[in-house]
Structure 1
Amino acid sequence: MLVGALTGPIYDAGYFRALLTVGSFGVVFGHMMLSLATTYWQVILAQGICVGLGAGCLFVPSVAILSTYFSTRIATAMGLAAAGSSLGKLCLYSPPSCPLTSHTGGVIYPIVFYRLEPRIGFPWATRVIGFIALGTLIIANSVMRVRVLPAARRAVLDLKAFTELPYLFFVLGGFLAFMGLYAPFFYIESYAITYNITSESLGFYTLAIINSASVFGRVLPNLVADRTGPMNIIIPCCVISGIIALCLIPVRSEAALIVECVLYGFFSGALVSLPPTVFVHLSPNRGLIGTRMGQGFSIISIGLLLGTPICGWILNGSGFTEVWVFAGVLILAGGSLMFVSRFFKAGFKLVQRV
């Protein structure tokens, strides 16, 4: 997301194919280099930088291009596109015995790695992930086409967008919400195992449960958003996600934890799939959609980048209760700023499509 400030204008300038090619190479090459990593700095270089930059080159063009094909059902289209990233994200999971550990991911990739690593080892399990990414990206490169070419070169940034209060407050709301949004994704497994809520094997699948529910959360709310407006859906989903995060505090049973995972995965899914639609809605000039979306996601990604390490620091100094409070309050604060954004866009007309 952070490189969106660059990839957005590059997309608007007509270099969609270049972004798609460079991004695809970065993702596949990064995974292959990760399979050779033996030290932490090599993991950061391969997974964090190479795969991260590659995915960043793919993200904004992949969602911005949909606005050139859809006008009446754009939220549904973007929801379906976002659902795929929940099924298999460009991240890995490795069991606690492995020194190269990243406790995040979607549904398919982590489970594939979790099953293969004990049998064929870390290097080849990682290469299998890389080959899966290669196969899916070959399909994407083969079928994706730009429908509307830009009429002229665009500025790298659209600073005028930040003078528009609906856009400004939505970006600020996204910054706060995403700072807390991924805390359950990163720490729900440790929470389940630390308090003996689940076994270690089931604890791993709590993340898969969240991401499985997120698939539906990225599609169904978007279907409704096409009728009611994206802001009318993302705001209540944001508030509900914050409340669910706070409700993790008293959870001590397996059944309650699974329910929490399903609910949080569903409602937080809308926070991932709907922002691109909101950015399109807040961009009257369609020629600047990529730029506005890219710079908006760049700011939001800073919150995402800061939030998880802060949660880790809080966890080491206090405990899980404080982590859930931190996450829940930030998500609720983000939802409040999104409501302010909606107010500047449509006032207090709650039934208006926004």
Structure 2
Amino acid sequence: MYFSMAGNGVIYDRYGPLPLIMGGTFLHVFGLMMASLSSAYYQFILSQSICSALGASALFTAATSPVGSWFLKRRALAFGIVASGSSLGGVLLPVIVTRMLPNAGFPWAMRTCAFLFLFLLVPACITVRARTPPQPRGFALAPLYRPLVHEPAFRLNALGLLFFSWGMFVPFNFLPLEAEHRGMRPELANYMISVLNAASIFGRIVPGYLGDKVGRFNVMVVTTLFSAVFVLALWLPSPQGNNAATVAFAVVFGVSSGTFVGMTPALVQTLSPVDEIGARMGATFALMSGAVLTGNPIAGALVERDGGGFAYLKMFCGCAMAVGSGLLVAARVKLGGWGWKRV
């Protein structure tokens, strides 16, 4: 999903969001429908991991890239509001699927999600447009690699986002398992992701508003640092059987990590000319894709190395995010220096 955004970004810069949102709607819904019919492992890879993910990638590019062309002074807030929609979905979908699996079965749980997405995406196909008209022109790779090679602030920002995402998605995958490992009832553990995403709604909108007031990089640096601290100082030392600590971590990490999701497009577009927004967004997310792909497998291997414990996983998660936050500090200093400044 992340890697294909490089191609989607180039398509957006040349033809606008319409072909991406139309094609993405078909691929995402069709992939989930095919997942509902799948039984073999390779079929799930083809339907959900590839077809549906390519569609979701195109939809993400089509939904976020036009925002920067419509908003300037309140760009971070606009991105936060747009990104809060995925948090709301992250609250509802785990509940829908968890409740439907034992009653309706896996196939109809997937089909219900696919029909829901189709119902929501049809109005988006009709309404989503960019402010500036598309500029059809020949395909060129330069907008994808040039800012990474020749613009230090853009490069530091992209590397910071890469390292942070290396650790950030680990709690989304392992928090319910870790909660059960420490004695939480499975019924409650399954709702930890919904709790995290509910808190993320707040974390995507309010920091976006603050970012427009005091500086987007300033807010991003503080919230990414808090995320690393929450993992290392709250999640790592939480005692066995303490459900309150797990729920508290889900809430505070949801707020801080939500800022990362909502603010990332705003940072990239702050460093990008309007006619290269899609390509630069795509280059950044394609670079992050390596971290997103490997973070959870590394965490799983660390659980095995720890004899089924989660301490090594938490240390990897927190340290990766701390390195990412440090690189974002470097990007912020490159743009605005060490003194206080709205950056």
TM class by smaller structure: over 0.9
8 A contact 1:61–1:290 mirrored in 2: no
Match of 1:212 among 198, 210, 216: 198
Deviations 1:81-118 (CA, angstroms, capped at 9, x unpaired): 11111121xxxxxxxxxxxxxxxxx1111111111111
What does residue 324 of structure 1 align with?
A: 314
Counterpart contact for 1:68–1:148, Cα < 8 Å: yes
Structure 2 contact 16–130 (Cα < 8 Å) conserved: no
- The equivalent of 1:195 in structure 2 is 182
Q: Which runs of 5+ in 1 are unaligned?
A: 89-105
- The one-letter code sitting in structure 2 at the alignment partner of 1:174 is L
Q: Secondary structure at the match of 1:235?
A: helix
Distance 1:335 1:176 in 2: 8
RMSD across aligned positions (CA): 1.2
Q: How high is the TM-score relative to the length of structure 1? A: 0.92
Matched-pair contact (CA < 8 Å) for 2:16–2:134 = no
In terms of fraction of residues, the more helix-rich structure is 2
User: Equivalent residue for 1:308?
Assistant: 296
Contact 1:6 1:156 in 2 (8 A): no
Runs of 4+ in 1 over 2 A off after TM superposition: 150-157
Q: What SS does the corresponding residue of 2:333 show, helix, strand or coil?
A: helix
| 1:172 aligned residue | 159
Structure 2 counterpart SS, 1:72: coil
For 1:202, the aligned partner's letter is L
Q: Is the 8 A contact 2:3 2:285 kept in 1?
A: yes
Q: Find out whether 1:334 has 2:330 as its counterpart.
A: no
Counterpart for residue 121 of structure 1: 105
| Contact 2:64-2:79 at 8 Å conserved across structures | yes
- Partner in structure 2 of residue 287 of structure 1: 275
Q: Are 1:5 and 1:156, in contact at CA under 8 Å, matched by a contact in 2?
A: no
Corresponding residue SS for 1:107: helix
1: distance between equivalents of 2:152 and 2:274?
19
Instruction: Give the corresponding residue for 2:125.
Output: 141
Q: 2:256 maps to what in 1?
A: 267
Measured at CA, do residues 112 and 274 of structure 1 come closer, stay the same or move farther in structure 2, by a change above 3 Å?
same
Give the 3-state SS of the residue equivalent to 1:13 in structure 2.
helix
SS in 2 for 1:67: helix
- Corresponding residue number in structure 2 for 1:156: 141
Q: Corresponding residue for 1:103?
A: none
Offset at residue 69 of structure 1 (A): 1.2
For 1:156 and 1:7, the matched residues in 2 are separated by 13
Q: How does 1:66-145 map to 2 (within 5 A)?
A: 66-88=67-89, 106-145=90-129
Identity %: 34
Specify the code of the residue in structure 2 equivalent to 1:343.
V
Contact 1:241/1:268 (8 A) holds in 2: yes
- Correspondence for 2:230 among 229, 244, 253: 244
Q: Which amino acid aligns with 1:136?
A: L
- The answer (yes or no) to whether the contact 2:94–2:191 under 8 Å persists in 1 is no
Gaps of 5+ in 2: none
Distance in 2 separating the partners of 1:75 and 1:265: 18
